[in-house]
Amino acid sequence: MQIAMVGSGYVGLVSGACFADFGHKVCCIDKDAGKIEALKAGKMPIYEPGLAELVMTNVRQNRLTFADDLSAVRGAQAVFIAVGTPSRRGDGHADLTYVYQAAREIAAAIEGFTVIVTKSTVPVGTGDEVERIIREARPDADFAVVSNPEFLREGAAISDFKRPDRIVLGLEDQRAEAVMREVYRPLYLNQAPILITNRRTSELTKYAANAFLATKITFINEIASLCEEVGANVQDIARGIGLDNRIGAKFLHAGPGYGGSCFPKDTQALIKTAQDYGTPVRIVETVAAVNDQRKRAMARKVLSACGGSVRNKAIAVLGLTFKPNTDDMRDSPAISVITALQDAGAKVNAFDPEGMEQARHYLDNLNYCSDPYACCKDAAALVIVTEWDEFRALDLGRVKSLLSEPVLVDLRNIYAPDEVRRQGFKYLSIGRYE
Ligand code: UGA
């Protein structure tokens, strides 16, 4: 089967490489000629574990190619739209400019029965508009528009793709179903749960999933704040409720608030859609507001650990990306925490294993350090914002000797309180009684 992937960003590249690995002939397309050139030379535009190897293997086997034009759409049985849907400036709606532009360009190129699949996260009804655009441009064309949202997590995208909890297909056409069955053949054979719904249901399922996960995180974060006041332990509570199958153990790690390219943007877009239809999703509105406040409030924890002020003090921050195993800085809690610390007069030293390049676009006046220990030198506190594995086993004796004050603020609960205190640290974490 021939597949064209329009958009070679995070989703397009991972999906394209995985489809090639399923044995299909895939062309990943992007308007950014520089990105395509780099990909041809084996350079990945993003950091994702295992991606470079997967891409190289499939390029060598002639199953995966790259192009900066849409010629590969001709002759493809399935054409995926995996372009960005950023938040529209000003109103929080998803900006569909790139999706509709892709639809127009695809319309001009399709030949024979073609399934056009929206993989980008798109508001309910977008598939209808894509269909209208293509029909208007090519009244003669034989095509179907399918919704197939992605549920990949950055940092675990390849295994999420190959071993999905479920695949959701929004389609109303039997021939399209047959094509999608072929696209996902190995997963059909592995009996992965495949849910077929109408297109609008599929589009909304994606937003509902992300909004629900964001709600779960925000719920446990608020319980964590209460724990700190009443002398309870949020990790035990997460286990205590998570063992109830109706609740489930995942996404109950309390922390500095969720970030990334998906939850903040998708909750906003869902809020807007629901308001437009006159059925506001008030829980999600609250979740988004509480999360924004929380990210800012984390700096107050650092201030209180430093005796009320960080003015003219150096603060060491470990972890800048919104989560480990990515270089993605979008809506990272580190941005809010660091900005608030700088506003309070602190000088911030920072280290992140993969995110420092991207961080330069989001944060000013950071003192970037070569490793965690260089970061700690003469700082009045060490703050852990992202739980990279390499921060879990720091030589705390060395850290203590480098800091000017033995203060550790752990926003991800990666250390055991009694162990750290035994080493002589003043230690603040999340949702654990101090
Ligand atoms: C999320 C979803 O998990 C994916 O299923 C979805 O496909 C993706 O968005 C998307 O829409 O494209 P992702 O943003 O890569 O994936 O990252 P997550 O692992 O979900 O983490 C999101 C944020 O929540 C991070 O800031 C993370 O630190 C935070 N989080 C997550 C917590 O604070 N606690 C948790 O228990 C889990």
| Residue 88, pLDDT score | 84
Q: Is 80 exceeded by the pLDDT of residue 32?
A: yes
Are 270 and 335 part of one and the same domain? yes
Q: Which of 18, 51, 152 for a ligand 1 pocket mutation test, highest count of atoms within 8 Å of Cβ?
A: 152
In a domain, 91, yes or no: yes
Residue after which a domain boundary falls, among 159, 179, 198: 198
Q: Could you read off the pLDDT of 190-241 as tens digits, one per residue?
A: 999 999 999 999 999 999 999 999 999 999 999 999 999 999 999 999 999 9
Q: Is residue 210 part of a domain?
A: no
* pLDDT for the residue numbered 44: 95
Residue range 310-326: mean pLDDT, rounded: 97
SS3 231: coil
Q: Give the pLDDT mean for 250-265.
A: 96
Ligand 1 touching residue 253 (CB < 6 A): yes
Measured by CA distance, the residue closest to atom 29 of ligand 1 is 258
Which residue is closest in CA terms to ligand 1's atom 1? 153
**How high is the pLDDT of residue 19?**
98
Selection from 405, 358, 352, 392 nearest residue 375 by Cα = 352
Identify the residue whose C-alpha is closest to ligand 1 atom 23.
258
Q: Are residues 167 and 264 in the same domain?
A: no
Question: Going by C-beta distance under 8 Å and a sequence separation of 6 or more, which residues neighbour residue 385?
Answer: 256, 298, 317, 318, 319, 320, 332, 333, 334, 337, 411, 412
Please name the residues in contact with 214: beta carbons below 8 A apart, sequence gap of 6 or more. 258, 263, 266, 267, 284, 287, 288, 291
Q: Is 167 found in the same domain as 265? A: no
Same domain, yes or no, for 107 and 156?
yes
382 within a domain of the structure (yes/no): yes
Phi, psi of 144, rounded to the nearest 5 degrees: -140, 145
In ligand 1, the atom with minimum distance to the C-alpha of 256 is: 33
**Inter-residue contact 383 to 412 (CB < 8 Å):** no
CB of 151 closer than 6 angstroms to any ligand 1 atom = yes
Quote the pLDDT of residue 140: 95
> Residue 204 falls within a domain, yes or no?
no
Domain match, 87 and 124 both: yes
- What's the rounded mean pLDDT across residues 412-427? 96
Q: What is the ipTM of this complex?
A: 0.97
Q: How far apart are CA 69 and CA 91, in angstroms?
A: 32
If you average pLDDT over residues 401-407, what whole number do you get? Answer: 98
pLDDT given at position 293: 96
Q: Are residues 116 and 256 in the same domain?
A: no
Q: Which residues on adjacent β-strands are paired with residue 410?
A: 384
Q: Is residue 215 part of a domain?
A: no
Residue 158, pLDDT above cutoff 90? yes
Whether 433 shows a pLDDT value over 80: the answer reads: no
Residue 417 sits in a domain of what CATH number? 3.40.50.720
- Please state the φ and ψ torsions of residue 19, each to the nearest 5 degrees: -60, -40
Identify whether the C-beta of residue 137 lies closer than 8 Å to the C-beta of residue 104.
yes
Nearest CA owner, ligand 1 atom 34: 253
Residue of minimum CA distance from atom 2 in ligand 1: 153
Tell me, yes or no, whether 251 and 343 share the same domain. Answer: yes
d(Cα 200, Cα 120) in Å, to the nearest integer?
14
- Could you give the C-alpha distances from 14 to 52, 118, 150, 156, in angstroms and in order? 10, 15, 10, 10
Residue 92 pLDDT > 90, yes or no? no
Is the model's pLDDT at 396 over the cut of 80? yes
What is the average per-residue pLDDT within 322-346? 96
Looking at the fold, whether 277 and 360 belong to one and the same domain comes out as yes
> Is any atom of ligand 1 closer than 6 Å to the C-beta of 219?
no
pLDDT more than 70, % of the chain:
100
Q: Are residues 175 and 239 both part of a single domain?
A: no
pLDDT tens digits along 51-77: 999 999 999 999 999 999 999 999 999
C-alpha–C-alpha distance, residues 245 and 235, integer Å = 17
Q: Is 258 in the pocket of ligand 1 (CB under 6 A)?
A: yes
Q: How high does pLDDT run on average in the chain?
A: 96
212: in domain: no
Q: How far apart are alpha carbons 349 and 131 in whole angstroms?
A: 51
Whether residues 152 and 232 share a domain: the answer is: no
Indicate the residue among 198, 215, 246 that finishes a domain.
198
Do the domain assignments include residue 206?
no
- Say how far residue 272 (Cα) sits from the centre of its chain: 20
Whole-number pLDDT of residue 281: 98
| pLDDT above 80 (res 11) | yes
If DSSP codes are grouped into helix, strand and coil, which group holds residue 131? helix
| Mean pLDDT within 85-96 | 85
Q: Indicate the residue among 152, 181, 198 that finishes a domain.
A: 198
Same domain, 181 and 236: no
- Distance from the alpha carbon of residue 263 to the mean position of ligand 1, in angstroms: 7
Is 375 among the residues known to form the active site? no
Domains in the chain: how many in total? 2
Judge if the beta carbon of residue 427 lies within 6 A of ligand 1: no
CA of 159 to the centre of ligand 1 (A): 15
pLDDT at 434 over 80: no
Same domain, 194 and 253: no
Domain span at residue 126 reads 2-198
- pLDDT score at 93: 86
In-domain check, residue 125:
yes
Torsion angle of the four alpha carbons 230, 232, 235, 239, in this order, in degrees rounded to the nearest 10 = -120
User: Any known ligand binding at 21?
Assistant: no
- Residue whose pair of structure tokens reads 């293997």 in the numeric block: 57
Centroid of ligand 1 to alpha carbon of 323 (angstroms): 8
